Structure 1
Amino acid sequence: MSTVDQANNQGSKITTALNVGSGVNIQELATSLSEAELNPKIELTQGKIDESELKISALAVVKSGITRINTALSNLEDTSTLTTFSATSSAATSVTAAPVQGTSATPGSYLVQASQLAAPTRIISNEFSSATQTLNSGTGFNVVVNQGPSPGVNTTVSVTDTTPTGVVNAINTSNIGVSATLINKSAAVTEQARVTFSAMTSGQSFTLAGITVTASGSATAAEVAASLANLAAGGSANASDKLTTSGTISGWTTESVNGASVNFTSTTAGSGVTDLAAASDANSLLSIAPTQGVADSWYISVSGETGVKNQFSMSSTPDLGFSTGSNVLSSAQNAILSVNGIGSINRASNSFSDVISGVSIVLSGTSAATIEVVENLSSLRDSLDEFVSSVNDFNKELDEMADPDDTESAFGGSLANDSSFVSLIRKQVKALVDKESATASGSMSSFRDLGMSFKLSGDIEIDETKYTNAVTNNLSNVREMLTGNTDSQSRYDSSDKGLALESRITLLGLIETDGILANRETNAGSTLESQKEALAELEERMSNAYERYIKQFAAMESIVQRSKSTGDYLEGQFKAMENMYSN
């Protein structure tokens, strides 16, 4: 409406300047009258909308506070996580121990010793010259794997790629619980070579293994060989009055001279070895013959899982050596251990968590170890402190929302007109401290038995002496009271529930569907929508009132204008008659 008002107002000013009409600004008058008629109602309705929006926000804060309390209680709900445990070993190189997350352990000292470690079956094949050596003349064949204790179960693995690599792939893709790999044994071989030298004349030279030898005169083959005998890695050539040398020997060592020959041994083992060769020998003074080189020597290695139940044997046609006794490197066996004097405990693996309750053990040796299992109560106290803090913070927020004179806090006075709701919510939360557990145990039946009580201010506090006495002398009773000695118990379970879960159910009844808080949120939302609709109607009525006034004042302006025109006409006629008679 403002754009129309501006245009009409401008038109009214022009009319007034021309001394046309009544001289009244009808747009301003129409606006003032319509606002005087409806603004009080609009402002009142807008105020109600603001209150409703603030209340809805406050209810969200109430829900958030209850949810926080509920979360704090959930940390007290399961027996396995109420406290934490630590496990340490006195001989970690032989036995390691750790608590199993999400389970309860029994504190104490445990003497553990293994007499035998679990091991897998390990079998190797015969030797192959390469990873791609053709087997069985290129014709496909089968490998039979017999698994489990005698008589075992046979599984046939079909080999279509008739190479050692193909055998490995066939075994691994059969998914029968054994794995195969190729191993190149040649990596352990060190190369040796015999170098036979020739006589040299002045000016002749050669370079070998990093050393350059140049003849300054005539030298026999034996003299040349002697200059390079008995050299350690990085050493310089032996002095000779007939030879000059430079550089140091690299990658090789040498042995004693044997006539005109010297044996060289590589300092590099494995596939990185390269044949000994002269870097320069223009006069063919050297004859190099490898005496032991790097020859490929491939084996298929097959292993399974540890434990007697996972033992296996293998055979094949053609015979790849899997069934040869000397190729069976180890047979599967169980770990055998004793705990606190109880011996002959068998496990298929060296890692297990079912011997000492709540403790995972890994064996790596046969030395005795003492495992200390300790219960840590800090998690219990942290959870209780969070419960207390969440309730105290919640009550503070309720106080601010219920105080009609609170103008400083964000939601001060937002629920001042709903004191019955605030009182009910506060009462329900406060009652949790006195709530009796359905799984009360010994002298432990409520949060008060853990030292909780209310201060004069209404805040909860924990009496340290009472709490310490409870967890020191009655921890099992505390656990049963809070958790019912259960884990992940359903709220719909008909059996008795621990205090923490029962308290959570009480709170969930407030915030879930059909709970008092959910109903308040629904009602507040409906009220807000109605108020917004009422505001829209009032604004429309104001617009209509303005248009009505404009029409009325426009008609008045027309009458005034016609009256002015008639007066001006008559005035003109009288002046004309007066002039006629005066002449």
Structure 2
Amino acid sequence: MASTGSITSAGLGSGIDIESLVTKLMAIESQPITTLQKRETSYQSKLSAYGVLKSSLSSFQTTADAIGTATKLASYTATLANTAAATATTSESARAGSYSLSVTNLAAAQKVRSAGYASQTATITSGTLALNLGTLSSDGTTFTPDSSKAVNIEISAAKGTNTLSGLRDAINASSAGVTATIVNDGGSSNAYHLMLTSKDTGTTNAFSVSGIDGLTYSPASTATGNQLTSVQQATDAKFSLDGINITSASNVVSTAIDGVTLTLTGTTTTATTLTVASDTAAIQKKVQAFVDGYNSMMSLMKSQTKTTSSTKLTSSTSTSSTSSDGPLAADSTVRTIQNQLRSLATSSVGSGSITRLADVGISIDSSGTMSLNSTKFQAALASSPSGVANLFTKTTSSNGIASQVSEKITAYLGTDGLLATRTDGIQKTITSMDKQIENLQNRMDTIETRYRKQFTAMDSMVASMNSTSSYLTTQFKSLLTSYA
């Protein structure tokens, strides 16, 4: 009998497509893995949907926080009768009021200039330039340097600072509190002047210059031998509010009136009126943001939990059977959040004429959409500003709706809140599924190896039998021929 030899390709000996057969058998064996993977994909979608929900809740909480306290809800405008004297802005801590403002002096930065030089590369005498910031007395006669603010600059060719432009750059690179520029006066000779200016206004930011011939200066009016020329003296702003005299090193003053920042721009000959009043349009804008945030959040939860008549619930975690269902179809946790926030939005707060959102023109229609009636809201603000504030904010006697919403969302988003508990459970399920899939995959590898070993053995046996059959057929034909 002839030898069959070794089989080098599955099915070569038998003619059977073993590769295709193994592939189809493994597809059947792998169905549990496919089922688990589909379930895991569903859970991953839920986890992702919860992430989007957390973000939406956080955004809504931001709008609630913006009106959760009386200070945050309140908005004010500040106007001046004489706009040439000053401008004003307000912050959350402002309060309504009227003030008489007089401005007698504006704050200014000290500024000095050098004599003219032939060019920007003109040579400066080598040595050490000393810049000293300090305080100029109110009458301008005395300058007191601050040793902690003294800066020394080496003037030398080696440092590249012994030219007009080199010195300018060295001063600007230092922490001297002084800015240096070069001004060209357009003259035919010695047209370039070094200009030194305090970075900040006020008499506490005056400065002296010494150490280099041609560049010495003291801001005191009693000083002698100044080689730099004064262009502008350091001065403080001086103004009064309702007869109270105030001095400031800066023209921008935020400490005179709580919540009001004044920017002085000119002096006055007669007092002007500064009026701080409630900005009802800005308050409505904040409340409208709360309304919009509520609608956005509710719309998201509605789409996430959308179900159809064919949706099947297998446990506390819903499993949707239709592609039109939301990723959190019929999820009880989201339903709980929806119901609790909707209940807060329709609840009653405190006592008096304004206790519900409807009392200030905020309503919720049959579809769950919240809307704000501007006319009714402005009327409520005009008749009872404190009542409107109490409806939204937290006070010593009651907790307003916006404040309650923020507190509720904080609980939802906390490490032991509803959402954390739910997402932790989903993540644990996904981790468990990953382990099951891994174990099943290892089992599939073993099964596939076994199938291939069995079919290879079968293939060899069939090949051997075919070879034997061929041999016997040949022998029988030979015998028949010899006896014919």
Q: TM-score, normalised by structure 1?
A: 0.57
What is the letter of the counterpart of residue 416 of structure 2? Answer: D
Aligned residue number for residue 475 of structure 1: 385
Q: State the 1:500 CA deviation.
A: 3.4
Partner of 1:99: 89
Structure 2 partner of 1:88: 79
- Over 3 Å counting, the alpha-carbon distance change for 1:134 and 1:60 in structure 2 is closer
Q: Where do residues 185-200 of structure 1 align in structure 2 (5 Å cutoff)?
A: none
Where 1:513 maps in the other structure, the secondary structure is: coil
Is 1:65–2:56 an aligned residue pair? yes
2:424 is aligned with 1:522:
yes
1:387 corresponds in structure 2 to 290
Show CA shifts across 1:492-513 (max 9, x none): xx99976534422321221232
The structure 2 residue matched to 1:511, chosen from 413, 433, 452, is 413
Work out which of the residue numbers 431, 446, 449 in structure 1 matches 2:343: 431
In 2, distance between residues paired with 1:522 and 1:152? 68
Compute the displacement of 1:183 (Å): 10
Q: How many residues align?
A: 442
Give the aligned CA root-mean-square deviation in angstroms. Answer: 5.6
Cα separation, partners in 2 of 1:474 and 1:408, compared to 1, 3 Å: farther
Give the Cα separation in 1 of the matches to 2:412 and 2:380.
31
CA distance in 2, matches of 1:561, 1:523: 56
Q: 1:7 to 1:514 in 2, by over 3 A?
A: farther
Q: What is the identity, as a one-letter code, of the residue corresponding to 2:325? A: G
2:280 alignment partner in structure 1: 377
Q: Deviation per CA, 1:469-519, whole angstroms, max 9, x where unpaired?
A: 32222223433554458xxxxxxxx99976534422321221232222122
SS of residue paired to 1:8: coil
Paired position in structure 1 for 2:5 = none
Q: Deviations over 1:72-96 (max 9, x none)?
A: 2232245555354433333333x12
Pairs within 5 Å for 1:124-523: 147-148=136-137, 271-272=187-188, 323=222, 337-339=239-241, 342=243, 344=245, 350-357=251-258, 358-368=260-270, 369-405=272-308, 412-416=325-329, 419-434=331-346, 443-444=353-354, 447-464=357-374, 466-479=376-389, 482-484=392-394, 499-523=401-425
Amino acid in structure 1 at the alignment position of 2:335: S
Amino acid at match of 2:101: V
Q: Which runs of 5+ in 1 are unaligned?
A: 1-5, 17-23, 188-269, 273-293, 486-493
One-letter amino acid of the counterpart of residue 328, structure 2: L
TM superposition shift of 1:558:
4.3
- Structure 2 counterpart of 1:35: 27
Shift in alpha-carbon separation, 1:122–1:465, aligned structure 2, 3 A: closer
**DSSP-derived class of the 1:59 partner:** helix
2:472 & 2:199 partners in 1: Cα distance? 127
Q: Name the CA distance, whole Å, in 2 between partners of 1:579 and 1:403.
A: 84
TM-score in terms of structure 2 length? 0.66
Equivalent residue of 2:416, what SS? coil
Q: Which moved more, 1:171-180 or 1:43-52?
A: 171-180
Q: Quickly say closer, same or farther: Cα 1:537–1:331, change in 2 above 3 A.
A: closer
Name the CA shift for 1:496/1:153 in 2 (closer, same or farther; >3 Å): farther
Q: Tell me, what secondary structure is at the counterpart of 2:450?
A: helix
Distance 2:137 2:196 in 1: 19
Q: 1:314 and 1:454 mapped to 2: Cα distance?
A: 71
Q: Residues 483 and 309 (structure 1 numbering): CA distance in 2 closer, same or farther, change over 3 Å?
A: farther
Structure 2 CA distance for aligned equivalents of residues 408 and 571 of structure 1: 61
Counterparts of residues 42-57 of structure 1 (less than 5 Å): 42-57=33-48
Provide the C-alpha distance between the structure 1 equivalents of 2:263 and 2:432, rounded to a whole number of angstroms.
Answer: 67
Deviations 1:18-74 (A, max 9, x none): xxxxxx4444444444434x2543442232123222222222222222122122223
Which secondary structure does the structure 1 equivalent of 2:10 belong to? helix
Seq. identity, %: 25
The 8 Å contact of residues 107 and 234 in structure 2, kept in 1 or not, is answered as yes
Question: Residues 444 and 33 (structure 1 numbering): CA distance in 2 closer, same or farther, change over 3 Å?
Answer: same
Instruction: State the secondary structure of the residue aligned to 2:269.
Output: coil
**Which shows bigger deviation, 148-157 or 378-387?**
148-157
Tell me if structure 1 keeps the 8 A contact 2:344–2:404.
Answer: no
User: Helix, strand or coil: the match of 1:86?
Assistant: strand
Q: Partner letter of residue 352 of structure 1? A: V
Residue by residue over 1:148-173, the C-alpha shift from the partner in whole angstroms, topping out at 9 and shown as x without a partner, is: 47998577889998x9x9xx999999
Tell me which moved more, 48-57 or 346-355. Answer: 346-355
Q: How big is each residue's C-alpha offset from its partner over 1:221-254, in whole Å with a ceiling of 9 and x where there is no partner?
A: xxxxxxxxxxxxxxxxxxxxxxxxxxxxxxxxxx
Counterpart-to-counterpart distance in 2, 1:332 and 1:564: 113
Structure 2 gaps, min length 5: 1-7, 156-161, 312-319
How far apart in 1 are the matches of 2:339 and 2:249? 58
Paired letter, 2:381: V
CA distance in 1, matches of 2:129, 2:373: 79
Contact 1:120 1:310 in 2 (8 A): no
Deviations 1:372-419 (A, max 9, x none): 444333333233223223322333333333333289998733223x53
Q: Distance in 1 between matches of 2:171 and 2:462?
A: 111
